[in-house]
Structures are given as C-alpha cells and as structure tokens.
Amino acid sequence: MQNRLARIVRPDTRRTVMLAVDHGYFMGPTTRLEAPVTTIAPLLPFVDSLMLTRGVLRQAVPAAPTVPIVLRVSGGTSILASDLSNEGVTTTVKEALRLNAAAVALSIFVGSPHEHQTLLNLSTLVSEAEEYGVPVLAVTAVGKELEKRDARYLALACRIAAELGARLVKTYYCDGFEAVVAGCPVPLVVAGGPKLATEQDVFELTSRAIRQGAAGVDMGRNIWQHDYPTAMLQAIRQIVHHDASPHEAGEIFNQTRTQEMRPAAMR
Ligand code: R5P
C-alpha cells in the first residue's frame, strides 16, 4: 500500500500532478481527446501519474517507460443519460493488479438518486482492494450539476469518501476550500472542471488549492484542451511541486510554449 501510494504522491514534496484522461468513459471522444495516444504521448514526461480506463491504457500508453496508473473502475452511464449517477464497478481489482495499477478510482455521487449505490460501490471496492494493498481514489462527482461544487457539499462528500476507506480523494476547488481539507483526513487532489477562460485562471485555481491544503491536481481538460498542453503542464508542475505563484507559472508557460508545436489540425 505505501509503495503504491508513493508512486502517486511524491514522497519528497508530498504532492502530485495527475493527468486525467478518463473522460471518454462517459463523454465519448471529447474534444482533443479523440485520439488518446496523440493527446497523451507528448504529456507523459511531465506527469506523476495517469488516470484512465483500461481501454485507453491498452491502446494509448506504452509499457515502457512506465508511468504510474490510476485506473478508473467505475462507469456505466453516458452523457446522454439524464442522471449520470447510476454507476457500477466496471473493472475488477484482479485486472487492476494484472495491469500493475498504482491505484483504482471510482466516482461517488453524494446527494444524487444513486447515492446509496455509489457509496456501496466504494465500500465494496475498498474492501477488495485493501486485501491486495491497492489504494482507492474516490471521485466526488457531481454529474451535470456543477453548481453543487460548494464547500458545504464537497466537505460532506470528501469526508464520507474517507470514512468509507478511500486513501485519496479527488474533488473540486471551491471558495472555503480550507474547510473541505480540514474535514478530510486523506490527501485531496483537485480536478480542473470544464475549460476555464485563460491559462492564468487555471494557475490561480491550482495555486489557491495548493496553498489551502490540496496535495495536488488530477486535471484534464484545462491541460489537454489548451493550445499548449505541455506548457500548461510544466507551469502547473511548478505550482504543485515548487510553490510557484500564478505569476511565475505564467512566465514559465510563456517560456515553454514557444518551444511547443501543436499539429495544425489540432489547433
Ligand atoms: C470525470 O469524472 C473525470 O473523472 C475527470 O477525470 C475529472 O473530471 C477531471 O478532469 P477535468 O480536470 O477535466 O475536470
């Protein structure tokens, strides 16, 4: 367990930059993640771990050099459904072990029509994964109800996730985030959510989350939907692992983006 956790949260900084590329499991070929191998390959040198499904792992990630894998093991709905909370467990712990995953990830939908089901999904997964020393990352999902992302709700969802045995929790940054951190006894990583207006907004969000106690990010669209994803990732790394300010991150972004060429078809 400790070995796997150390593959995700860097022991020297106690922080992590996870790249989330699991969106296809309910969103299909999301913009700029249509061909995961093309999106992921240039970003691999700059990530601490990758969060994805077994299908994308199989198709888009080389066996070497190795990158720690956080395997999404919940799903069962699509964006066409009115209620995204009706998830089950899609991948066994045995397969996660076979794929040498560093952790498994599952969404819970607190306050949703399938709250009970998804919380039992988490509990059952934790019981099974703990047997093999595999950490479970719980995602406090809100489905289409993005307005749910306030401190009161997220503190509730994160605490429940930890109480049921999650070793890591992925949530959203929000006003009053310190209260979410204070109520959750395990490391929290933050998602980015839908793409923000500017890269500076992303650096601000990341910096605030880190300063207020997050252990890092598990971010997707705000990195790979950007015109300069590797520059974004390198700037975010500086905030997460070296406490760079949003302004310093902006300077790093501007320096590194000049070296980054994105295929014209993807701009
Ligand atoms: C959503 O359920 C997925 O787990 C994503 O990995 C998560 O939302 C993080 O990605 P983003 O930063 O794009 O929100």
At 87 the pLDDT is 97
Segments making up each domain of the chain, as ranges = 2-190
| Beta pairing class for 74-75 and 88-89 | antiparallel
Q: Amino acid identity of 124? A: T
- CA–centroid distance, 39 to ligand 1, in Å, is 15
CA 257 to centroid of ligand 1, rounded, Å = 24
pLDDT at 266: 55
Atom of ligand 1 nearest to the CA of 191: 12
CATH code of the region 2-190 = 3.20.20.70
In order along its 267 residues, the chain shows pLDDT tens digits of 999 999 999 999 999 999 999 999 999 999 999 999 999 999 999 999 999 999 999 999 999 989 999 999 999 999 999 999 999 999 999 999 999 999 999 999 999 999 999 999 999 999 999 999 999 999 999 987 878 889 999 999 999 999 999 999 999 999 999 999 999 999 999 999 999 999 999 999 999 999 999 999 999 999 999 999 999 999 999 999 999 999 999 999 999 998 886 655 555
The rounded distance, in Å, linking the Cα atoms of 32 and 192 is 16
Q: Which residues contact 231 (CB under 8 A, 6 or more apart)?
A: 252, 253, 256, 257, 259, 260
Q: Whose CA is nearest to atom 9 of ligand 1?
A: 191
- What is the structure's pLDDT at 119? 98
Res 131: pLDDT: 98
Residue from 18, 33, 221, 240 whose mutation best tests the ligand 1 pocket (most atoms within 8 A of CB): 221
Name the region of 216 (left: φ>0; alpha: ψ -120 to 50; beta: rest): left
Q: Tell me the backbone φ, ψ of residue 195, rounded to 5 degrees.
A: -60, 130
pLDDT at 261: 67
